[in-house]
Amino acid sequence: NDLKNTNLNDINERIMKIKVKEDKKIQMSSRNNRLKGLEALSQINFKEEKKPAREKIKDRVKVLAEELNIGVPTLTDIVEELKKPGRDPRDEMPKVIFRSDVMKMEDMEVGMKLKGTVRNVVDFGAFVDIGVKQDGLVHLSEMSDKFIKNPMEVVQVGDVVDVTIIKLDKERQRIGLSMKTKR
């Protein structure tokens, strides 16, 4: 509910309420790790140590990460992103200058060469924003002139790539792209 209502401005204060070892360790049942971690967020009484604030919060994040059974870096990333609801980290990527003559699917044709930004990398390829409503897919087999097993060997999110349109399905709104140079 707090996430839905963007009521997480006090997340650091909630984390500071988590008891650490010096606070007589949080006493909770071992039934459900997630519930334990959420209950830990609501703990109020903790002993003030003579550590700087940054060290205090790190101690509490370690306890919470252990209770939730996730890594400290993962939990830290989650907390940082929860502080900025509605923000998409991909928005920080450099903008590509798209071709002005390609604004919609009807403007495209097979064989056309375009520049695009990799928006998502998945096991079977990468989705590339080429300046129209629908992102195009570069299938794993079309990512490189040589054999690759993983798309991350070639691209990562945010990369600007040169692509060629190899398939257009206007009815289903699908765009097939290739990054091969020998086309």
| Per-residue model confidence as pLDDT tens digits over 100-117 | 666 677 778 899 898 889
- The residue written with tokens 């060290």 in the block is 55
How far, in Å, CA of 9 to CA of 87, rounded?
Answer: 15
End-to-end CA distance of the chain: 51
Domains of the chain: 11-87 (no CATH), 92-178 (2.40.50.140)
Asked if 129 contacts 119 with a C-beta cutoff of 8 angstroms, the reply is yes
Residue 143 has pLDDT above 80, yes or no: yes
Look at residue 166 in the predicted model and tell me its pLDDT: 95
The model's confidence at residue 25, banded by pLDDT at 50, 70 and 90, is very low
**Range 85-93 average pLDDT:** 60
On average, the pLDDT of the chain sits at 76
**Range 89-98 average pLDDT:** 60
> Comparing 51-55, 102-106, 170-174, which segment has the lowest mean pLDDT?
51-55
